[in-house]
Structure 1
Amino acid sequence: WFAIKDTYIIHMRTDSSEIRFPMLVDHEFQIKNGFPHTFGSNTIKISNLQQTLSIKCKNERQAIEWKEQLEKLIDNTVPTFSSAFTTRFSSFAPIRENQLAY
């Protein structure tokens, strides 16, 4: 299973709901599909600064639906992470106000 959250996607095991890995939607987050980028029209290639993930969907329509949802996620999230030059220490993460740091 895959779950799309506000700033990341996660892969979970279906039998135990164990989180296998999270994938942060950072300023290098990209989604590609189709023959020039993947091995078939029903495959999506997702990448960020740390990893690349290929997902094979049941059919092309399902791949298009996933891509559309992930593009909405990018539109809502990437502006937060794209301002790395304005964050302290050129961090990829946005500045969080009213947070305790130890």
Structure 2
Amino acid sequence: MDKEEQDKLEKIVRSSLSPVRLAQRAQIVLMANEGMRNQDIANALGIGRVKVSRWRNRYAQSGLAGIERDLPRGAPPQKVDIKRLVDLTTQHKPAGATHWR
């Protein structure tokens, strides 16, 4: 890590305007840069080792941009075919039941 990148991360950690999550991620990266192990960082910050590993890896892959945003959670949104849905609910009789008309 170069001095400029380290300065940016330190500024994020010190700033009271930084989101807490981003400041914690920057702290993880700075501690790793000092040569600390994941378990030691996790213990110092009171978080899980897996979380430390995740943010170190994202920083290694994408730099500062990798820790600035969360990845989307959950399943991707499903697209509903409205025409097919209306057709299924109004034009076809359910198996083993009568149509509601």
More helix by share: 2
TM-score, normalised on structure 1? Answer: 0.27
Greater strand percent: which structure? Answer: 1
